[in-house]
Structure 1
Amino acid sequence: MRYLITVLLFCFQSVQLVAQTNNYTISFENAVHHEATISATFPQVPEDTLSLRMSRTSPGRYALHEFAKNVYNFKAIDSKGNALQITRTNPCEWKVSGHDGTVKISYTLFANRGDGTYSQIDESHAHLNIPATFMYAPSLNERKIEVDFKTREDLNWKVATQLPHVKDNTYSAPNLYYFMDSPTELSNHKVREFKVDGQTIKLALHDPGTEVEADTYFEKVKKVVLAEKNVFGELPTFDYGTYTFLACYMPNASGDGMEHRNSTILTSTRTLANGGMDGNIGTVSHEFFHSWNVERIRPKSLEPFNFEEANMSGELWFAEGFTSYYTNLILCRARLITPENYVEGLTGTFNYVWNSPARQFFNPIEMSYQAPFVDASTSVDPVNRENTFISYYSYGSVLGLALDLSLREKDLNLDDFMKLVWNTYGKTEKPYTIENLNKALNLYAGKEFGDHFFNSFIYKSEMPSYTELFKTVGVSLSQNTEAAYFGAAVSITDDLNGKIRSNTKIGSPAYLSGLDKDDIITTINGDNFPNGIQFNKFIENQFKPNDNLSISFLRDGLERKTEVALTADPNYSISLIEKNEEAPSKKILKARKAWLKVD
């Protein structure tokens, strides 16, 4: 009986602890100098020493971001106002001891980057990504959180966030993870919304433009939402019945997009009146697709998300790459770009992947593993990404294209495969593995087809037969065999020479001749470096494949010479076959219509 009472008492105390609420307040008196003042109260702290941290990562990002570097003026007191002992054992952690059960902290945050990862505070807005803003207590991660945003009424700020509203400017989160996943925009923004199947889709638009421009842009957003709903057959069930686009299109922002469970950050320096009306809608398409694919169709490797270490996943070719495939396809289906523009727009990504030497080093899974090194990460030492890395966004995008067209040859399609994955892993929120995706494709299209796709293109780095696949929908893939190719990105220096600005590509003429990054070309065949013309155009216009160039160049201040044997340009052009005056058959037009869902 005594044991039972002890257990019940322990359970009651545990419930009490879980039921406690951690409270935050943030204010912006010194917004003109990019500062916020933040305070927090942690009641009924069960341990003698409370660990408080700034996150090193942010949901949707895979690399480390040391947010603690922008925190200063940290103080900690107990419930009576007594100063507490603070111990620092690593750059991201503050250990507070000597409390009376309550820990109250305050600190100053400097924030001046408005994108999908960091925070920006000035007199135009408080653009808050939560991990970059708020300190947290890891041991209290299951507690409810409330935060009071002290908006600048003199600047007409209001609050936009996926956090549920409590009252006035106070919002809540059921736990730490939801809080960290809830970016918030405080500004004088415009709001538009519409209902879809009983749920609200909201646009909070921070843009200096007119109400008419906001209306026009929101019509585009609505078309994207409905076109993507058609892929999966339904919207996700948003936790509080609302999905919010937090769009900040301001000159002081940094271009980005970042998905979250019930919202997304959209940032751009392009205002709607300055190219953003058309230029920003692609990010809307990409990020909203993530509300299915990655937020709910979730890789097991990202669960639980780690706020203290980099997050590595081998599934990003699918989570990010297949989402990238649908990004512009959705714009075409929504009649926001033409089929011709969509098809021709495939060219850059296709050439980037097809012609990359990096496939000899890594397959799509291993490219995904590179995310902690490339996903907005920074380093000071030179790297060889031009030769060793293909973005999992791009790699997965061209593989999604190939899978879609391959399935359509079997009277199947990628939309219905995505529906299968959604119903199996997304709607049920059961995290998946690569093996699960392989089995799902086997179930949908047959074991031989599914295993061939994964064994050839995912576990290995082979490339599908795009020429034949494109023919099935009346798309031409062609090369100009008369165009010469040098193989280096060259820009004009102040003294009118040519500087190689990136690593030369393995196997290219420039690479084989020994030219490298930062070499400065001074003469070509005895003539001074050409001024006033783009270098690649100069090579294409003046020379032919198999021509030899005598190059004089400077390396580390010393003059050197080399011979470059030009080859044919390996790049492809992608276009509708009608552009080449070839009339598509009715069968091809029917297949294209089914693919693009346009007449």
Structure 2
Amino acid sequence: MADSSIHFTVSFQEPQAHYAEIQIDLQQFDKDYIDLKMPVWTPGSYLIREYSRHVERLSAEANGKAVRCEKIAKNTWRVYSHKENVKVQYSVYGFEVSVRTNFIDNDHAFLSSAATFMFPDGFLNHPSTLSITLPENWSSVSTGLPTVPGKEHTYYASDFDILFDSPLEIGNQDVWHFEAAGVQHEFAMVGGGTYDKKQLSEDIRKIVEIETDIWGENPNSRYVFITHNYQNGGGGLEHLNSTVLGASRNGYQQAATYKNFLSLVAHEYFHLWNVKRLRPKALGPFDYEAENYTTGLWIMEGFTAYYDNLIIRRCNFHSPKEYLNLLALDFNIVYNRPGFQIQSAGLASFDTWIKQYRPDENSSNTSISYYNKGAMLAAALDIRIITETDGAKRLDDVLRAAYQQFYKTEGHGFEESAFQTLAEQTVGVDLSDIFEAAHTNQELDYNDFFEKVGYQLIDVNANNQERSLGLKTAVIEGRIVVKVVERGSAAWDAGISVDDELIAINGTRLDVLGKELDFVLEQGAIDDIVDVLVSRDGLIRTVPTPLRRTTKKVYTIQEFEQASVRAKELGRIWLSI
């Protein structure tokens, strides 16, 4: 089928109702029927999202006459082409605010390509073209796809992997350009905001150039930032030569919020190499119809989560203290979830399809985030390499070597064992204990690492005698309702359950401000038994519950007073001071 072609046309007849109309022109496909499939997930966001649920009114015709088509699976439509050129039409509904789903209204359209376009079964490697028909009051299209010369708002994808990795922003976005690391960058701002274009371009230029220096090259000739500004927004999703970001429109003039945005930029741009090119074998070529399992997201997302704030530190946007506080936050997040004793970073990676994006009331007791735990492990690796090589090498060298070996030379994804072997060969350091820790529930002694660079991880809450029941509540229509019960806590052992309404304690009715409960916790002694009156499914019961010392961790990373002069020097190398 050398002469076959696939062309998509996108139009918007009812944007106010949140619809896009898609037309597929299939020519020279010498088949009795074509199965058109919609991806069920999008790379970078590891959850089956069932995008086909938003497809409506699919029909097909050839030579102006209707062609029979039927839905044969949740995401598959069979079109009986009778070896003719076929035109397929369908509508897609989009009204979900996120970086991975479609959103369409009167003002603009954001299209996640995996949630919008179908592929002919067996033809993922086939090229396609795409044209956008803009409503009268819209003027711009922002996408990483290259344009087709001489055709307005028409783009080319060499295969469906490229198409599905190229989101589109369509409307009246504020667009400007700047160059960094020899690459042309486009910024597309949606939703207004208090941003300063010049300052933002200068700051992001620093990020781009530092990251390019880490990896040794910038593989793109053009890169697109699509940013959606909301009253309160966040999140990002990486793509091969673009990213989609969420931000708070009035946060650009607030120092902390702006630095958080720059960290998000650093994170998603870092993925240009780490995930989009250097990757585990499972993450490409993709199966768009099922889960793609890997235990390696602690490397891909965890390392990136370690580097995002570290790069902001290297740009001197964060002071050393600010950076250390942010790194300590990873430890606080992990160690304040009892799930760290149950789920390893590797298992969290593998189970991302069923846990990471589907939290429930028990998630903190059973799981961790491979982002935070991966960042902790990356810090251990970086510090180990710095100290064992006396500052000559660090984790940067491992990433650069892995990029060259697995992506540039071998052209495929890696096995974790091969990544570890290459890392150890690159820096000449035994890293086995850290890689093993990624797949067990045995914790590293992180002060074995921090103290060698002049710092110490300290739980400043370790001696706190504050009492706690070990639960979290929410006030719902004037009722105090339990939302989380911490594993191993007083409430857990006593049998208080999520969705119990707390009514009284020791015969005193509780108030929604929590003052009565606070009084009992302050006045009671550890191991005292208090009577908690609850309503469970409308039935009243008393639950005798012990008071226990709080298990909340409050970690900080502070200077280690006994550190040697050389340790302090290595710490300056680590923090780029």
* TM-score between both structures, scaled by the size of structure 2: 0.91
SS in 2 for 1:280: helix
Specify every segment of 5 or more residues in structure 1 that has no aligned partner in the other structure, as ranges.
Answer: 1-16
Corresponding residue of 1:443: 425
1:313 correspondence with 2:314: no
SS in 1 for 2:310: helix
Corresponding residue of 2:547: 565
- Contact 1:483/1:540 (8 A) holds in 2: no
Corresponding residue of 2:460: 479
Counterpart selection for 2:330 from 342, 346, 349: 349
Q: In structure 1, what residue type is equivalent to 2:493? A: L
1:141 correspondence with 2:124: yes
1:247 correspondence with 2:230: no
Counterpart selection for 2:405 from 421, 424, 448: 424
Partners of 1:544 and 1:152 in 2: CA distance: 69
Partners of 2:481 and 2:569 in 1: CA distance: 49
Corresponding residue of 2:438: 458
Aligned-residue offset at 1:432: 0.3
- The 3 A distance-change label for structure 1 pair 254 and 85 is farther
* TM-score between both structures, scaled by the size of structure 1: 0.87
1:218 correspondence with 2:201: yes
Counterpart selection for 1:499 from 476, 481, 494: 481
* Residue deviations 1:112-153 (CA, integer Å, cap 9, x gap): 124221111112211011011112212332222111111234
Corresponding residue of 1:6: none
Paired residues, number: 565
1:285 correspondence with 2:269: no
Aligned-residue offset at 1:271: 4.6
1:577 correspondence with 2:555: no
Aligned-residue offset at 1:173: 0.6
- Contact 2:398/2:423 (8 A) holds in 1: yes
- The 3 A distance-change label for structure 1 pair 299 and 310 is same
SS in 2 for 1:501: strand
Map 1:330-409 to 2 at 5 A: 330-376=311-357, 384-409=362-387
* Residue deviations 1:303-341 (CA, integer Å, cap 9, x gap): 221111122211111111111111211122222222222
Counterpart selection for 2:105 from 122, 130, 134: 122
- The 3 A distance-change label for structure 1 pair 476 and 386 is closer
- Contact 2:31/2:82 (8 A) holds in 1: no
Aligned-residue offset at 1:585: 6.4
Aligned-residue offset at 1:362: 3.1
Counterpart selection for 1:262 from 209, 231, 241: 241
Partners of 2:251 and 2:488 in 1: CA distance: 43
* Residue deviations 1:14-71 (CA, integer Å, cap 9, x gap): xxx2453311111113111111111110001122111112211112122111111111
Partners of 2:524 and 2:568 in 1: CA distance: 39
Corresponding residue of 1:4: none
- Contact 2:532/2:545 (8 A) holds in 1: yes
Aligned-residue offset at 1:370: 0.9
Aligned-residue offset at 1:359: 3.9
Aligned-residue offset at 1:531: 4.1
- The 3 A distance-change label for structure 1 pair 335 and 18 is farther
- Contact 2:40/2:51 (8 A) holds in 1: yes
* Residue deviations 1:547-582 (CA, integer Å, cap 9, x gap): 55442322222222212231243403204339xxx6
Partners of 2:180 and 2:356 in 1: CA distance: 33
Q: In structure 1, what residue type is equivalent to 2:373? A: Y
- Contact 1:259/1:287 (8 A) holds in 2: yes
Corresponding residue of 2:532: 551
Aligned-residue offset at 1:183: 0.6
Aligned-residue offset at 1:404: 1.7
Specify every segment of 5 or more residues in structure 2 that has no aligned partner in the other structure, as ranges.
Answer: none
Partners of 1:299 and 1:525 in 2: CA distance: 56
Partners of 2:180 and 2:547 in 1: CA distance: 60
Partners of 1:467 and 1:534 in 2: CA distance: 39
- Contact 2:10/2:21 (8 A) holds in 1: yes
Q: In structure 2, what residue type is equivalent to 1:505? A: E
Partners of 2:176 and 2:355 in 1: CA distance: 35
* Residue deviations 1:60-91 (CA, integer Å, cap 9, x gap): 1221111111111211011x111101122112
Corresponding residue of 1:234: 217
Corresponding residue of 1:87: 70
- The 3 A distance-change label for structure 1 pair 326 and 376 is same
Corresponding residue of 2:84: 101
- Contact 1:483/1:544 (8 A) holds in 2: no
Corresponding residue of 2:510: 529
- Contact 2:529/2:544 (8 A) holds in 1: no
Aligned-residue offset at 1:217: 2.3
Q: In structure 2, what residue type is equivalent to 1:142? A: N
Q: In structure 2, what residue type is equivalent to 1:348? A: L
- Contact 2:491/2:545 (8 A) holds in 1: no
Partners of 2:32 and 2:441 in 1: CA distance: 53
Partners of 2:197 and 2:22 in 1: CA distance: 33
- The 3 A distance-change label for structure 1 pair 229 and 192 is same
Corresponding residue of 2:19: 35
Aligned-residue offset at 1:454: 2.2
Partners of 2:166 and 2:519 in 1: CA distance: 50
Aligned-residue offset at 1:299: 0.9
- Contact 1:61/1:117 (8 A) holds in 2: yes
Aligned-residue offset at 1:515: 1.8
Q: In structure 1, what residue type is equivalent to 2:161? A: Y
Partners of 1:58 and 1:531 in 2: CA distance: 42
Partners of 1:232 and 1:259 in 2: CA distance: 17
- Contact 1:31/1:122 (8 A) holds in 2: yes
Partners of 2:167 and 2:34 in 1: CA distance: 26
Partners of 1:330 and 1:305 in 2: CA distance: 30
Tell me whether 282-291 or 478-487 shows the greater mean CA deviation.
478-487
Partners of 1:106 and 1:122 in 2: CA distance: 20
Partners of 2:536 and 2:203 in 1: CA distance: 51
Partners of 2:372 and 2:455 in 1: CA distance: 22
Partners of 1:202 and 1:91 in 2: CA distance: 37
Partners of 1:95 and 1:302 in 2: CA distance: 28
1:322 correspondence with 2:303: yes
Partners of 1:414 and 1:538 in 2: CA distance: 50
- Contact 1:207/1:271 (8 A) holds in 2: no
Map 1:66-77 to 2 at 5 A: 66-77=50-61
- Contact 2:15/2:104 (8 A) holds in 1: yes
Aligned-residue offset at 1:586: 4.6
Q: In structure 2, what residue type is equivalent to 1:151? A: L
Aligned-residue offset at 1:243: 1.4
- The 3 A distance-change label for structure 1 pair 460 and 225 is same
SS in 2 for 1:352: helix
SS in 2 for 1:300: coil
Aligned-residue offset at 1:375: 4.7
* Residue deviations 1:249-290 (CA, integer Å, cap 9, x gap): 135x96431111111111235455586634422221111111
Partners of 1:183 and 1:284 in 2: CA distance: 17
Tell me whether 349-358 or 300-309 shows the greater mean CA deviation.
349-358
- Contact 2:207/2:266 (8 A) holds in 1: yes
Q: In structure 2, what residue type is equivalent to 1:384? A: N
- The 3 A distance-change label for structure 1 pair 492 and 467 is farther
